[in-house]
Amino acid sequence: MAKAASSRPIESHAPTMVDVALRAGVSTMTVSRALKEGSRVSKATREKIMAAVNDLGYVLDQSAGSLSSRKTGFVAAIVPSINNSNFADTARGITDELESTGLQLLLGYTDYTAEKEERLIEAMFRRRPEGIILTGGAHTDRARRLLKSAGIPVVETWELPVKPIDQVVGFSNEEAMGLLVKTLARKGYRKFGYIGGTTSRDTRGSQRREGFIRAIEELGLPPGRLVSFGVPPISIEQGGQAVVSMLERWPDTEAVLCVSDLSAFGALMECKRRGMRVPQDIAIAGFGDYEVAAFCHPGITTVNVDCYGIGQQAARRLIQVIRGDGKRHGQEIVLTGYRVVEREST
């Protein structure tokens, strides 16, 4: 046999809708309809088409489709880090909510910097998402401009931005931390310390610190002791180091509040390693209600935030606008709940 002399091309292209249409003996338009839910195609035709699709191993090309339909089916979401279980939960809430809608998630991480967020927003806008979910309300000027002029719904989450761009699904980190302080003050603690990161990169962290300071003031307690340690997000290890530095400077601290449960867990383990009794010698509390806080020993008092629900509701808002329930497309603000969870560490 003459080598490669066959009339069939050596490497055939991936099949397109035209191939399917030819094989099924219909037009591409009918194939397109057959592959889209809720379009009217006769049963016989649909079966012929599906057979052709299977034979050829055809997979729809959405890039091409979205060019003509002007709908990409993408939703963008930007979180500070996916290696933080709180945000991973939010991402999952979004994904789960999108699943039934056929919308697909484009996920990106900012590493807690507004510059990276700006770059990400631009990179994602090149894909023409139909909506975007952001974490927090701090954006560069250019990012704000991009977001406002994109003509798509924007949801800011996890905070209550002073100047919301569009919709908001979040809570006041300041108030939440304040509530934690008040809860502990009611138990009799008076000398409070706070452990957080060094910079203002993590805006939620800064807001929690503000909430801490303000609550202490309002209660007329001795000024809080603040330890800043490490670049956010502050890790378990850094939580341990921070509590050491706190105890060196203010050995009589009665209760230490941490910007997140991870640092609280680090602080707790460090105290135990040093033979201190928690909460008798020192009380420790965190923020975020990570799984580890519930099951470590002693359990860590913390503030539970509805991470998953934030993602779910943010996605829901987007879907409503995108799928055009015609509803108010105004600046809507959804408050998500939080609650103090008291455990043995305080």
Closer residue to a second copy (CB): 6 or 68: 68
> How many CA atoms lie less than 13 Å away from 150 in the CB half-sphere?
24
Contact residues: DNA, CB under 7 A? 13-14, 16-18, 25-33, 35-36, 40-42, 44-46, 60-61, 64-65, 67-70
Assign residue 111 a region (left: φ > 0; alpha: ψ between -120 and 50; beta: otherwise).
left
The verdict on 333 binding a second copy (CB under 8 A) reads no
Smallest separation, CB 122 to DNA (Å): 13
The verdict on 6 binding a second copy (CB under 8 A) reads no
Matching residue, tokens 């890790």: 235
Is the link from the previous residue into 298 a cis peptide, with omega within 30 of 0? yes
How far apart are alpha carbons 169 and 270 in whole angstroms?
36
The verdict on 92 binding a second copy (CB under 8 A) reads yes
The verdict on 306 binding a second copy (CB under 8 A) reads no
152 phi and psi angles, rounded to 5 deg: -125, 155
Smallest separation, CB 83 to a second copy (Å): 5
303 phi and psi angles, rounded to 5 deg: -110, 120
Among DNA, a second copy, none, partner that 112 touches (CB below 5 to 8 angstroms by kind): none
The verdict on 296 binding a second copy (CB under 8 A) reads yes
Q: Please give the full DSSP string across 193-236, using - where no structure is assigned.
A: EEEE-SSSSSHHHHHHHHHHHHHHHHHTPSPPEEEE-SSSSP-H
Stretch of 82-90, 176-184, 221-229, 318-326 contacting a second copy, by CB under 8 A: 82-90
Stretch 103-122 residues interacting with a second copy (CB under 8 A) = 104-107, 109, 122
Q: Residue 332 corresponds to which tokens in the numbers above?
A: 């809507």
CB 140 within 8 A of CB 78: no
Quick note: the x/- pattern for a second copy over 46-75, rule CB under 8 A, is -----------x-xxxxxx-xx----x---
Strands 255-258 and 104-109, bridge-based pairing = unpaired
The verdict on 235 binding a second copy (CB under 8 A) reads yes
Among DNA, a second copy, none, partner that 225 touches (CB below 5 to 8 angstroms by kind): none
At 87, which helix (H) or strand (E)?
helix 85-99
Closer residue to DNA (CB): 129 or 288: 129
At 256, which helix (H) or strand (E)?
strand 255-258
Task: Using CB under 8 A, pick the residue from 33, 182, 214, 272 that binds a second copy.
Answer: 272
Matching residue, tokens 């003050």: 185
Among DNA, a second copy, none, partner that 35 touches (CB below 5 to 8 angstroms by kind): DNA
Chain positions contacting a second copy, by CB under 8 A: 14, 57, 59-64, 66-67, 72, 82-83, 85, 88-89, 91-92, 95, 104-107, 109, 122-123, 125-128, 145-146, 149-151, 235-237, 240, 262, 265-266, 269, 272-273, 291-292, 294-297
